[in-house]
Amino acid sequence: MGANTLPVILLLPLLGAIGIACTARWPNVRETVSVLTALGLAVVVFSWFPEVSAGARPHIILSEPLPGLTLALSLEPLGMMFACIASFLWIINTIYSIGYMRGNREKHQTRFYICFALAIAAAMGIALADNLFTLFLFYEILTLSTYPLVAHKGDPKTIASARVYLGILIGTSIGLLLPAIIWTYVATGTTTFTLGGIIQGNVPGPAVGLLLGLFVFGVGKAAIMPVHRWLPAAMVAPTPVSALLHAVAVVKAGVFCVTKIIIYIFGVDFLFSQPSAQWLQYIAAFTIISASVVALYQTNLKRMLAYSTIAQLSYVIMATVILKPLAEIGAAVHIAAHAFGKITLFFAAGAIYTAAHKTELWQLAGIGRRMPITMAAFTIGALSMIGVPPTVGFVSKWFILAGAFQAENYLAIFTIIASTVLNAMYFLPIIYFAWLAPDAPDVDMNHGEAPPAMLLALGVTAALTIGFFFFNQPLLDLESQLVESLPL
């Protein structure tokens, strides 16, 4: 395929959004358009996979608003993976959303599906961005298009939370990320992602650490402490939003940006040699441990999952800043692993809410006996979060640990082990109570399983969480290019 067809990946969801708007009057047609768009997008994205896997790097310039500053798209292993995950999970999520939105009789469903399609278009734009400017553009579109989704309910409490969401994400991106991009541009004369980085020799040593800080905290979507507050706030959104956007598209866009910036803007080797950049692993370690501890104290299921996400995101950051080949692969695989595991958990949470209207942890006692399929999927997702084989969470943890040993980075090793223990401490009791404990008193237990559309979706993602443990070779092949092409 020619690189000229790359914009199709962005245009398809946009056309889908228009289609959804036009068919608002007929819900069945509207949902069909949603599903078809999702399917079409996934087909287009996956059709690029063999080529990129074989080493092709398609590239196209759309416009050049300022000299040296282009709106350009390209595909490389990291972006390919992110695009594949997001587009594939969008199909499942669309099916799940239909079940959820109808099951809960939500209002403004057309707006919901339109914004969803726009958000996916933005996520694709982030995946395909060829330079920081393009990345920033789609990063902002993603924030703006997800705001109506977070604020979906429209009551004052939701609005207040959505304001936190928007305030932190826009604030950090304009306040820190944009200056970082402009600094990079002024110092190097370019913002294009280049293997080996563009910073070396252009920014003096101590300033590298500062620039890294601007980038890392500027990408608020990566939820590194202390800019993590938006993520629990965003949990007021309907569950499909939490699932796709706050387990996959938005947060993964965050860590994807950080990983991409570290690999392609700073350069792994250069950053490894900079003492001023070492602080990031301490912050990541701190985020992992403290977010896990906070998760331990949560009583609301979705909030607990949110803090778990914060910790897992910092795994990716930590893996990236170990700055060793195996750890870089681990970082990339963990983006995928966490996506499958966490979307399963959120799907399960949404299924429980739809079928039984339960949101608090104590209400879940004995629920496994009434919703066996949902809780089985939940169990698989939770095991993947802890990193137990045979789930995909084990694969990525293996690589990250291997990289940490390669670098003899004992901080990373200790953090991963400690957080695994913490993960087990907050997930295992839930599994135990859900399956084995007697029913919670004073709770309505007259409910069955969730609607079939939701079960189908969470069944697929749970199966993938396990399946990916066995069949991860194509992804590993793709991402090892990331390392081979790195000057080691």
Partner 1 sequence: MNLADHLPALQVALPLLTAPLVILLRAGFLAWLAALIASLASLGLAILLTITVLETGTQQYAVGGWQPPFGIALTVDGLSALVLLLITGASSLALAGGRQSLRLDIDNRRAPMFYGAWLIAMAGLCGIAVAGDAFNVFVFMEISSLATYILIAAGRDRRALSAVFKYLIIGTIGATFYLIGVGFIYMMTGTLNFADMALRLNDVIETRPIIIAAGFITIGLALKAAIFPLHIWLPRAYTYAPNAVTVFIAACSTKVSIYVLLRFNYAVFHGNLLGHSDLFTVFIIPLALSGILLASAIAIYQGNVKKMLAFSSVAQISYIALAAGLASQSGLMAALLHMFNHALAKGTLFLCVLAFVLTSRSATITDLHGIGRRMPWTMAAFVLASLSLIGVPGTAGFVSKWYLVVAVMEVPGWGIPLVIAIIASSLMAVVYLWKFIEAAYYGEAPNGETGTMEVALPLRALIWVAALSNVYFGLFPQLPLALAQSGTGTLLGGLH
**Of 77-85, 182-190, 263-271, 400-408, which part binds partner 1 (CB under 8 A)?**
182-190
Phi/psi class of residue 267: alpha, beta or left (left: φ > 0; alpha: ψ in -120 to 50)? left
Report how many residues bind partner 1 under the rule CB under 8 A: 28
Cβ distance to partner 1 smaller for residue 230 or 399: 230
The closest of 455, 447, 449, 352 to 95, measured between CA atoms, is 455
Distance CA 235, CA 242 (A): 6
Dihedral of alpha carbons 436, 442, 443, 447, sign? positive
CB of 13 to partner 1, least distance (A): 17
**Of 58-66, 85-93, 191-199, 343-351, which part binds partner 1 (CB under 8 A)?**
58-66
DSSP letter at 391 equals S
Cβ distance to partner 1 smaller for residue 56 or 170: 170
- Start-end of H helices in 357-439: 372-386, 392-406, 410-436
Q: List the interface residues with partner 1, window 376-415 (CB under 8 A).
A: none
**Of 166-174, 230-238, 314-322, 459-467, which part binds partner 1 (CB under 8 A)?**
166-174
Helix (H) / strand (E) element for 8: namely helix 7-22
CB of 104 to partner 1, least distance (A): 19
Q: Does 3 bind partner 1 (CB under 8 A)?
A: no
- The position carrying tokens 């913490």 is 422
Cβ distance to partner 1 smaller for residue 183 or 272: 183
What would the x/- binding string for partner 1 be over residues 133 to 162, using CB under 8 A? x--xx--xx--x---x--x--x----x---
Q: Does 183 bind partner 1 (CB under 8 A)?
A: yes
Other CB atoms within 10 Å distance of the CB of residue 5: 14
Peptide bond into 13 cis (omega under 30): no
Crossing angle for the helix pair 372-386 and 325-356, to the nearest 10 degrees: 160
Cβ distance to partner 1 smaller for residue 61 or 411: 61
The closest of 106, 28, 158, 153 to 354, measured between CA atoms, is 106
CB 253 within 8 A of CB 119: no
Out of 163, 202, 286, 449, which residue is the one contacting partner 1 (CB under 8 A)?
163
CB of 116 to partner 1, least distance (A): 17
Q: Does 174 bind partner 1 (CB under 8 A)?
A: yes
The closest of 302, 425, 308 to 363, measured between CA atoms, is 302
Q: Does 28 bind partner 1 (CB under 8 A)?
A: no
Cβ distance to partner 1 smaller for residue 116 or 346: 116
CB 73 within 8 A of CB 60: yes
Out of 8, 15, 61, 178, which residue is the one contacting partner 1 (CB under 8 A)?
178
Q: Does 25 bind partner 1 (CB under 8 A)?
A: no
**Of 62-70, 84-92, 243-251, 405-413, which part binds partner 1 (CB under 8 A)?**
62-70
- The position carrying tokens 């698989």 is 380
Cβ distance to partner 1 smaller for residue 208 or 458: 208
Q: Does 210 bind partner 1 (CB under 8 A)?
A: no
Out of 170, 195, 437, 440, which residue is the one contacting partner 1 (CB under 8 A)?
170
Distance CA 363, CA 383 (A): 21
**Of 41-49, 129-137, 351-359, 469-477, which part binds partner 1 (CB under 8 A)?**
129-137
Helix (H) / strand (E) element for 103: namely helix 77-103
CB 331 within 8 A of CB 406: no
Q: Does 171 bind partner 1 (CB under 8 A)?
A: yes
Cβ distance to partner 1 smaller for residue 130 or 328: 130
Q: Which two tokens stand for residue 199?
A: 């910073």
Q: Does 65 bind partner 1 (CB under 8 A)?
A: yes
What would the x/- binding string for partner 1 be over residues 69 to 88, using CB under 8 A? x-x-----------------
Q: What is the DSSP string of 186-251?
A: HHHS--B--TT-S-TTTS-HHHHHHHHHHHHHH-GGG--TTS-THHHHGGGS-HHHHHHIIIIIHH
CB of 148 to partner 1, least distance (A): 8
Which residues contact partner 1 by CB under 8 A? 63, 65-66, 69, 71, 133, 136-137, 140-141, 144, 148, 151, 154, 159, 163, 166-167, 170-171, 174-175, 178-179, 182-183, 185-186
